[in-house]
Amino acid sequence: MLLAQVAQNNFRLRRSYIEIFNYTLEQYKESVAFPPATYDFETFLSKASPGQDVILHGYLGPRNDISKKLSFVRLQDPTMKHSIQIVSMSHNESFEKLRGLRPNSPVVIKGTVQAKKAKNPEMQKRDPWEISLDDIHLLNDFPHLQLRTSSELRDALQFRARVRNVCKEELEQNQPPFLEIETPLLFKSTPEGAREFLVPTRKRGLAYALPQSPQQYKQILMASGIPRYYQFARCFRDEDLRADRQPEFTQLDLEMSFATGEDVRRVVEGIIGRLWSTLMDTHAPKEPFRKLSYQDAMSRYGSDKPDTRFGMEIHQIENLLPVDLVNKISPLTDPIVEIFKLEASENDPDVTLRFISEFLDSPAGAPFNNNPDGGPGIFVYDAKKPLSGLQPFGFQAAEYVEDLLKPDHGDLIVIQARKSGPFAGGSTPIGDLRRALHSAAVESGLRPAPTGFDFLWVVDFPLFSPTTESEPGQGGAAGISSTHHPFTAPKTAADVDLLLTNPTQVVADHYDLVVNGVELGGGSRRIHDAAVQEFILRDVLQMPAERLSEFSHLLEALRAGCPPHAGLALGFDRLVAMMLGKESVRDVIAFPKTGKLGEDPMVKAPGLITQEALETYHLRLTEE
């Protein structure tokens, strides 16, 4: 009895499902045979006349129900650039069909053109026509797609396409022209610096790696007689996400044979100049862009990608400070102590004190308070107090600080200690604090927001840097890794000599393009000699033999008489975001990844691997 009831219920469910599916099929059959449009929108708007029967394709906008018998709706054309008003009245069969459709659904409408009535003559001139609806065909129902509902996102993608076209024109009109060449996405795992995405194969133990960049392929192209190469390259790095970082991204990648870094920089400046003069409502940046050495950038701004528009330069002062003040701000022995000034527009010490107190108590201030090398020393310049609020400095040091910084009433003065030693990495503690404080001051209204675009080249980086846990490097045993990648050439003959005696002192012929505190791209002159390249991999970085063998293809190409060459990769996503004033590259990418693991919320990737796929690719899951 129970089995019979279950079977009957299943039959009812199946019959209900079939009825629903049949209804869906009928809808689908209508959409397959939809009629062609009489005109595209631009042609229609130029040729429309009263009484004309038309068929148009597009997306429904929000509907405005004036009464029980009258509705208006805008029909947007497929490009989302044009729209026209549709009028539907209850005496028409299509009236109820229209009222049952959701906004943004794709439709075919049939109707009659009529003059639109408008109170304002100017509006009548701009939007003279409307269509009286005779029939409407739904092509697909619309749940939600952000790209269709957000004109800002669509505009960003259209702008991105224009940026790409301008870059392409500039490179292909160069003399000699650059040649666009696509390089493979299924590469091999080589220790270039970042973590890779691996693609397993059905051959046990073998896997491809998705390229971190086309670096090795383009160097092989240089050895193969291609004088100038470029491509819009898809790159992949298994890194945690940030506002300006995605696990897959696009680079405008280029390389030039018989070229120096200076040659590459001139080409890139030409690209930027053409983009700004063609697409931006501001003057093109003055060429050549100024240069700033890595040492100067780190010492003056505490960052290898400084925003130089707002001053707040850093100065080293530990030799002038009283010992007791140094001991109060840091537990370090013989630390370096640095100082900067934040100009407060209010000139009110109470306002400045309230601002810095709120900042240090906020989540943004927590990393600086919890610095194991000591938190920042904070002073508000107050002309009404003894030594203007700088008593802890002592008379002599306070006088020096006043001469150095020339503070005004209410300005903020910050000191910060760090370990003695050469600069390493991309920033210093006081550099991070400088940037965070300025952002907070702008947000609170204490400082005006900086404007304009300040392009500069940061040059003379160290060729090698200490290996850290967060930067795996190239897997060598030397305790150092290439600051950028192991194919970067030493800058001078003297630097080549230092490879034998003191590699950490070698200066790289590397250059980063920086604008407003954002690294837009980086490049270098490459090592074109196989013996030197092998020496750096084997003897300087001390790669094991099995890792060194993974570069055999590149070494073989260099041995084939490879000419000197140099190149650069521009972060294309960052470039477009910068031009549009967007904080995140996600705002200029179709289907960006989100979350710490880089999920695609649209298609729900990455997905779980089935047991069958695990067996096919000889994989096994381990316990976490």
**What confidence tens digit (pLDDT) does each residue in 57-101 have?**
999 988 999 988 899 999 999 888 889 999 998 777 788 889 888
Contact at 8 Å (CB) between 270 and 230? no
The CATH label, of 1.10.540, 1.10.1740, 3.40.1000, 3.30.1360, for the domain at 310-449 is: 3.30.1360
Phi, psi of 219 (to 5 degrees): -70, -35
Pairwise CA distance, residues 135 & 155, whole Å: 31
Per-residue pLDDT tens digits for 503-514:
999 999 999 999
What topology does CATH give the domain 41-148? Answer: OB fold (Dihydrolipoamide Acetyltransferase, E2P) (2.40.50)
- Identify the band that residue 2 occupies on the pLDDT scale cut at 50, 70 and 90: very low
Report the DSSP pairing between strands 198-200 and 480-482. unpaired
Is 351's pLDDT higher than 50? yes
What is the domain partition of the chain in residue ranges? 1-33, 41-148, 153-291+458-588, 310-449
Identical fold, 153-291+458-588 and 310-449: no
Q: Look at 597 and 244; give whichever has higher pLDDT.
A: 597
Is 39's pLDDT higher than 60? yes
Report the DSSP pairing between strands 83-89 and 129-138. parallel
Among candidate residues 464, 477, 482, 487, the one with its CA nearest the CA of residue 545: 477
- Identify the band that residue 290 occupies on the pLDDT scale cut at 50, 70 and 90: very high
Pairwise CA distance, residues 489 & 198, whole Å: 28
């020393």: which residue's tokens?
377
Six-digit token string for 251: 């680079």
Predicted pLDDT of residue 443: 93
Over range 373-398, report the average pLDDT. 95
Over range 30-56, report the average pLDDT. 87
Six-digit token string for 486: 């192991």
* Mean pLDDT estimate for the chain: 90
Over range 410-430, report the average pLDDT. 95
Per-residue pLDDT tens digits for 556-593:
999 999 999 999 999 999 999 999 999 889 899 988 88
Per-residue pLDDT tens digits for 269-282:
999 999 999 999 88
> Reduced to 3 states, what is the DSSP secondary structure of residue 218?
helix
Q: What is the DSSP letter of 175?
A: S
Percent of the chain with pLDDT over 70: 92
Predicted pLDDT of residue 5: 55
Per-residue pLDDT tens digits for 326-342:
999 999 999 999 999 99
What topology does CATH give the domain 153-291+458-588? Answer: BirA Bifunctional Protein; domain 2 (3.30.930)
Six-digit token string for 577: 């975001």
Six-digit token string for 4: 């019979």
